[in-house]
């Protein structure tokens, strides 16, 4: 069963934010990390196909400004009352009988429900507050340490300017019930008869405390020689920090090392070199046509990284497979591994890590602690794709797939389903229903099937009876990241 918190957050945001500018919070644990005036970092996505991630810096904009006085009060808009109740039931019966040969009958029923009732409000920083702050307050000198580190990383900085927040404690409940029965009768000298029935019921309840942030809006902070500013209108060409002046790129910093090139640029350079090799080898020349140009480009990008895994030894794949399975079950270890690889890729030296994350890292370094770029780049691409997924998907991959030894059959079914969805969607910016090929669904298809939960957690609406998926533009980032994750994990499994 998918996360009840994620489900209700997406429903609320879909109803209240028609501009699609609010970023849903995908974890109840992170819901207190996004408050007005808080600073966030946003990494440039290695792939343009999934959504860039925001990370709370646990610092407010008042912490980097002089004088260090409280921030202006925020506007309260609302309250809004939201109630979402879903109740569904599906039942079927089957009976087979032939004269003199007996009778076989059976029935099954599936039902599910969910309910949530909440009162939410919007907390917004008024635009005139920014005008006053920019005019009256300047950046601290010397520059705050967190800004120095982010400048060194090449990451952009954003400020939370609006949040959607609960005003009262909320209890979200989701239930799922399955029941079945059957009977048979076989005539003969001795008549055999039998019957049986069973049921399975699951209930998930999540309590969301008052004051929890369900979604937020972030605007970019720009720092230049003349001061600072907040971009209230998005500008993709702008960066938080001014690029180094020409002629200074090769100067060493105070630590005696070369200034870091943004991680995304490093990976894109590696990807470009590998892509040229990929094309020069003639691979992909006879690829079948696909409906959308975006999906064709995504396939090409993913193939570059999966092809790089073919150079890994069987032993190395086995070690990575086992360690990644353990890391996926630990969100903090997954984040630590990604950050360590990012730093090592920029500086070429990797510091040891404890536990399974350290085991993954040791597969990618020489005894001198020097990172092997051709090994590290595809694994870091995989880690960033996984990081774009939700905790629900991580748990499922860890417990349902990776923990079982990364069996190819367990990965192949969801991979083919995700591939089919992206291939059939001719326009990723339009909401539409997509039919799923029955042959890919296996022996069962429903809300408890792992492939179903993986797709549903991307923000896709699924139906059993059709079967079909309702595509929404908001699902693009997660679905593309899921496709890339499954493709690389499947390649690791097949190569073992």
Using DSSP, state whether 315 is helix, strand or coil. helix
Would the pLDDT of 221 be above 90?
yes
Average pLDDT, the chain: 77
3-state helix, strand, coil in the chain (%, to 5): 40, 30, 30
The confidence score (pLDDT) of residue 483 equals 94
Angle, vertex CA 330, rays to CA 329 and CA 334, nearest 5? 110
Mean pLDDT, rounded, for 425-445: 79
What is the reported pLDDT for 200? Answer: 61
Nearest-angstrom CA–CA distance, 422 and 458 = 12
Asked if 40 and 157 count as a contact pair (C-beta separation under 8 A), the reply is yes
The pLDDT, as a whole number, for residue 256 is 38
SS3 state at 76: strand
Coil, strand or helix at 29:
helix
Residue 365 structure tokens: 């370094």
As a whole-number percent, the residues of the chain with pLDDT over 90 amount to 12
Q: Is the pLDDT of residue 111 over 90?
A: no
pTM attached to this predicted model: 0.74
Q: Which of 410, 419, 408 is nearest to 442 (CA)?
A: 410
- In the DSSP assignment, the letter for residue 473 is G
Residue 78: how many CB atoms within 10 A of its CB?
14
**Residue-wise pLDDT tens digits, 372-403:** 888 888 999 999 899 888 888 888 877 655 54
Percent of the chain beyond pLDDT 70? Answer: 74
pLDDT in tens, 119-146: 888 999 998 899 889 988 999 888 888 8
pLDDT at 88 over 60: no
**What does the pLDDT read at residue 484?**
94
* pLDDT higher than 50, residue 204: yes
Give pLDDT tens digits for 440-491: 776 667 777 888 888 888 888 888 777 888 888 888 889 999 999 999 988 8
Is 37's pLDDT higher than 90?
A: yes
Residue 260: pLDDT above 50? no
| Average confidence (pLDDT) over 31-36 | 87
pLDDT (0 to 100) of residue 261:
45
More confident site: 100 or 65: 65
Span of 11-25, 174-188, 312-326, 371-385 with lowest mean pLDDT: 174-188
Q: Give the mean model confidence (pLDDT) for residues 146-169.
A: 87
- pLDDT above 50 (res 35): yes
Give the model's pLDDT for residue 411. 78
Mean pLDDT of the 178-195 span: 59
- CA-to-CA distance for 419 and 438, rounded, in angstroms? 14
Tell me if residue 236 falls in helix, strand or coil.
coil
Q: Is 352 exposed, middle or buried (0-12, 13-18, 19+ CB in 10 A)?
A: exposed
pLDDT computed for residue 246 by the predictor: 53
């Amino acid at each position: 069963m998918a996360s009840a918190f994620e489900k209700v957050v997406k429903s609320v945001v879909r109803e209240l934010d028609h501009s699609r500018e609010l970023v849903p919070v995908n974890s109840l644990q992170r819901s207190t990390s996004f408050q007005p005036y808080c600073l966030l970092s946003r990494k440039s996505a290695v792939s343009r196909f999934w959504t860039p991630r925001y990370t709370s810096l646990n610092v407010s904009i008042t912490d980097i400004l002089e004088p260090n006085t409280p921030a202006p009060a925020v506007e309260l808009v609302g309250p809004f009352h939201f109630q979402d109740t879903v109740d569904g039931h599906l039942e079927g019966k089957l009976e087979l009988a032939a004269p003199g040969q007996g009778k076989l009958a059976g029935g099954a029923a599936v039902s599910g429900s969910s309910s949530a009732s909440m009162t939410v409000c919007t907390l917004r920083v008024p635009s005139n507050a920014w005008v006053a702050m920019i005019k009256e307050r300047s950046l601290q000198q010397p520059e705050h340490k967190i800004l120095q580190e982010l400048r060194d990383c090449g990451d952009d900085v954003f400020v939370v300017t609006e949040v959607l927040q609960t005003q009262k404690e909320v209890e979200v409940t989701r239930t799922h019930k399955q029941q079945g029965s059957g009977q048979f009768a076989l005539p003969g000298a001795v008549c055999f008869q039998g019957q049986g029935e069973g049921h399975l019921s699951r209930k998930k309840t999540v309590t969301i405390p008052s004051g929890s942030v369900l979604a937020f809006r972030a605007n970019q902070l720009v720092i230049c020689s003349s001061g600072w500013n907040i971009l209230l209108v998005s500008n993709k060409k702008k960066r938080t920090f001014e690029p180094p002046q020409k002629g200074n790129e090769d100067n060493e910093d105070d630590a005696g090392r070369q200034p870091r090139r943004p991680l995304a640029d490093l990976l894109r350079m590696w990807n470009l070199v590998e892509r040229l090799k990929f094309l020069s080898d003639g691979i992909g020349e006879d690829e079948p046509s696909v409906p959308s140009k975006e999906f064709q480009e995504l396939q090409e990008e993913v193939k570059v990284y999966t092809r790089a895994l073919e150079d890994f030894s069987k032993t190395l794949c086995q070690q990575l497979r086992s360690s990644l399975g353990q890391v996926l079950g630990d969100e903090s270890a997954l984040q630590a591994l990604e950050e360590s690889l990012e730093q090592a890729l920029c500086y070429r030296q990797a510091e040891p890590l404890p536990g399974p994350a350290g085991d993954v890292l040791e597969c990618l370094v020489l005894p001198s602690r020097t990172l092997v770029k051709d090994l590290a780049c595809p694994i870091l691409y995989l880690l960033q794709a996984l990081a774009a997924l939700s905790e629900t998907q991580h748990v499922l991959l860890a417990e349902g797939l990776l923990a079982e030894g990364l069996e190819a059959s367990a990965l192949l079914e969801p991979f083919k389903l995700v591939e089919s969805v992206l291939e059939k969607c001719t326009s990723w910016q339009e909401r539409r229903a997509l039919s799923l090929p029955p042959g890919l669904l296996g022996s069962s298809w429903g809300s408890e099937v792992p492939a179903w939960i993986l797709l549903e957690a991307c923000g896709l609406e699924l139906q059993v009876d059709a079967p079909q998926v309702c595509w929404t533009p908001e699902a693009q980032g997660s679905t593309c990241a899921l496709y890339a994750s499954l493709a690389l994990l499947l390649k690791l499994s097949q190569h073992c």
